[in-house]
Structures are given as structure tokens and as C-alpha cells.
């Protein structure tokens, strides 16, 4: 868990052939991250092409469809960043470890992160072996480039950096922060198309409300992501609720 104490400003370096894609980070709460002395800098891999045609990719040895990013332009781009400012080097890749909130929290405590966005069929293995510290996947599907996965990563990390989200409690109470999903939430009006906001939320009784929220969170997780339940150390109360749910079929 983040302590809320931040001793340094975080630096993101991004290696990409499409730096303009990262302009989306200028929108919403995430834009505040970079007003708060954290920094993001994109390095254009194409500037280190092997010829005047801007070539950075080559055919695969041994055959196979498509093209692969060549190691030399990647190395030259990485070396534009002083070694002391590179920090942890991540390659976004479908072969990486699946991204989780725990990993986001880990990465949020780093001083610098260098993120490589692949394109085409990916990246020459020799570059990965030599210069990449960790491969991360955003899910079991294949995207056409690492830029959007990188934006997912940066956005999720930035949310945890103090000062990005106005109310730090909202980050602390996010889904996954205690291993569970968040339960349902309601806003005005009290009645929408005959559906009423649950009475307890209008009761003003804070302990009943927080018990209701905790129970709903557990139920939501049990129904939608039972795999998460097994990873959480449940309290006696939670175990009892789950047993009731299973036995009385009150879902």
C-alpha cells in the first residue's frame, strides 16, 4: 500500500514510434500528475532509424509473418536517456506478466520508469535480454502496439501518485486495493425510472452504511471474480457472509 508520503518526483521515459499518442495524458485527473513535478518524456525510436527511409524493422530470421523491431535503433534510443534517469525498464508485451494493482503499487514507488512500446511483430529478443528488466502484459489479448498498454500503465500508476487524485481516500477505496471489487454505487435522483436508491444509503447511519458497502463489495467479487476471493484473507464476518450466501442462495 502507498503511504501517501512521496520523497521524490517520478519520471516516465517512453520509447515509441508514435510520441503524439501520449498527448491523451493531457486530459482528466492524470494531467495533474505532470503539473505536480512528475515528468514524462517520449523518445522517438524512428529518429534512430538505420537509413534515411526511417527503417527500424526487419524481416524475421527463420521466416514468419511480419516485421520485427531491430535492436540497434532501440538501443540508440534507450541510450539517449542518461543511465541514472532510466530506472526500471519495462517492455509492454503479450508475453509479459499480467498487470495487477499490486504491480501498479510496486511501480508507483519507483523514481524512474522507462517504457518500451513495441510495434509490428514485436522486438528482437536480444534487446529484451540485454536491456529490459521486466515484460508486462495488459491482458490476454493482442493489440497493434504498446502505446495504449503504456498509457494504461502510466494512468494507473499516476492515480497512485500523491496529488493526482484530489481525494486520496478514493484511491485507497478503489477496487483491488483490499483485494476485492467495489460494490454498486448510486447518485441523484433518489428514484430513477421507479428504481429507488437502497434505503440504508439514505439513512445517515455511517456504521450501517459502511457494513452494507463492505458486504456488497464481497458479494460483487464473489459473483464476478470468485478467483479474487481465494487470494484475500477474509475476516470471520466475511467468511460467515459467504457461507450464508452459498447455503441460503440469497443472491
Ligand X SMILES: C[S@@+](CC[C@H](N)C(=O)[O-])C[C@H]1O[C@@H](n2cnc3c(N)ncnc32)[C@H](O)[C@@H]1O
- The single residue of 86, 94, 134, 168 carrying the catalytic annotation is 94
Q: Check 9, 76, 135, 174 and give the catalytic one.
A: 174
Query: Nearest 5°: CA angle at 244, between 243 and 246?
Result: 65
Catalytic residue at 159? yes
Find the part of the chain contacting ligand X (CB under 6 A) among 25-33, 76-84, 115-123, 226-234.
115-123
Q: How many CA atoms lie within 13 A of 33 on its CB side?
A: 22
Per-residue binder mask for ligand X (CB under 6 A), 127-146, x = binder:
----------xxx-xxxxxx
For residues 152 and 51, is the Cβ–Cβ distance under 8 A?
Answer: no
Helices (H), 6-146: 30-35, 71-78, 101-108, 125-131
Q: CB of residue 94 vs ligand X: minimum separation in angstroms?
A: 4
CB 90 → ligand X: shortest distance, Å?
10
- Residue number, 89 or 218, with CB nearest to ligand X: 89
117 binds ligand X (CB under 6 A): yes
Stretch that binds ligand X, among 5-13, 34-42, 91-99, 219-227 (CB under 6 A): 91-99
Query: How far apart (Å, rounded) are the C-alpha atoms in residues 156 and 100?
Result: 10
SS3 labels along 23-60: HHHHCCCHHHHHHCCCEEEEEEHHHHCCCCCCCCEEEC
Active site residue 94: yes
Question: Applying CB under 6 A, does 94 fall inside the site for ligand X?
Answer: yes
**Can you tell me the distance from the alpha carbon of 157 to that of 162, in angstroms, rounded to the nearest whole number?**
10
Positions touching ligand X (CB under 6 A) are 92-95, 117-119, 121-123, 137-139, 141-146, 149
Which sequence positions are flagged as catalytic? 94, 121, 159, 174
Amino acid at each position: 500500500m502507498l503511504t501517501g508520503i512521496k520523497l521524490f518526483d517520478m519520471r516516465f521515459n517512453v520509447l515509441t514510434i508514435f510520441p503524439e499518442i501520449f498527448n491523451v495524458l493531457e486530459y482528466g485527473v492524470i494531467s495533474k500528475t505532470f503539473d505536480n513535478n512528475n515528468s514524462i518524456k517520449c523518445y522517438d525510436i524512428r529518429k534512430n532509424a538505420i537509413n534515411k527511409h526511417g527503417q527500424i524493422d526487419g524481416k524475421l530470421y527463420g521466416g514468419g509473418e511480419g516485421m520485427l523491431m531491430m535492436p540497434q535503433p532501440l538501443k540508440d534510443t534507450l541510450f539517449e536517456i542518461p543511465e541514472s534517469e532510466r530506472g526500471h525498464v519495462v517492455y509492454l508485451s503479450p508475453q509479459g506478466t499480467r498487470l495487477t494493482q499490486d504491480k501498479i503499487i510496486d511501480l508507483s514507488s519507483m523514481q524512474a520508469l522507462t517504457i518500451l512500446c513495441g510495434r509490428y511483430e514485436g522486438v528482437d529478443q536480444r534487446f529484451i535480454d540485454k536491456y529490459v528488466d521486466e515484460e508486462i502484459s495488459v491482458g490476454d489479448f493482442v493489440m497493434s502496439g504498446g502505446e495504449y498498454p503504456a498509457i494504461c500503465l502510466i494512468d494507473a500508476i499516476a492515480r497512485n501518485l500523491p496529488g493526482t487524485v484530489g481525494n486520496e481516500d478514493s484511491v485507497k477505496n478503489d477496487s483491488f486495493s483490499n483485494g476485492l471489487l467495489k460494490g454498486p454505487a448510486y447518485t441523484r435522483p433518489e428514484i430513477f425510472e421507479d428504481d429507488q436508491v437502497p434505503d440504508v444509503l439514505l439513512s445517515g447511519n455511517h456504521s450501517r452504511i459502511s457494513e452494507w458497502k463492505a458486504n456488497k463489495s464481497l458479494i460483487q467479487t464473489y459473483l464476478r471474480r470468485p478467483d479474487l476471493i481465494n487470494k484475500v484473507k477474509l475476516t470471520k464476518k466475511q467468511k460467515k457472509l459467504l457461507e450464508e450466501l452459498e447455503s441460503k442462495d440469497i443472491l
